Amino acid sequence: MLEKRNCPHCGQTMNEWLGPPESGWGMILVCNNNECVFFKGSPRMIRNTEEESPLGCRYAEDPDNNYTPFSLVAWHGACRD
């Protein structure tokens, strides 16, 4: 069971999400709020995956790693910055 946690950027309850097998993450927590300042303020868009899709970085935490925050690019992988 994961804790209920709120996104520190927008206050919305974060959703549990099972990372893709290749990511090596287990269940993680992600802020799915499209209005989240973290998401809207993503420093860069990823351009080489799906052109013109509005990918950005979502705020996420890894419960297996003491809820360490990280950035999740849409549903692909971690932001590189």
Please, which of residues 4-23 interact with Zn ion by CB under 5 A? 7, 9-10
Rounded distance between C-alpha atoms, residue 49 and residue 69, angstroms = 24
User: For the chain, how far is it from start to end, CA to CA, in angstroms?
Assistant: 30
- CB of 50 vs Zn ion, minimal distance in Å: 23
Distances (CA, A) of 58 to 18, 44, 49: 15, 12, 16
Positive or negative torsion for Cα 10, 74, 32, 19: negative
Count of residues interacting with Zn ion (CB under 5 A):
6
Q: In this chain, which of 28, 29, 36, 73 binds Zn ion, going by CB under 5 A?
A: 36
| Residue 31 makes contact with Zn ion by CB under 5 A | yes
Q: x-or-dash pattern for Zn ion, window 39-78, by CB under 5 A? A: ----------------------------------------
Give the nearer residue to Zn ion in terms of CB position, either 25 or 59.
59
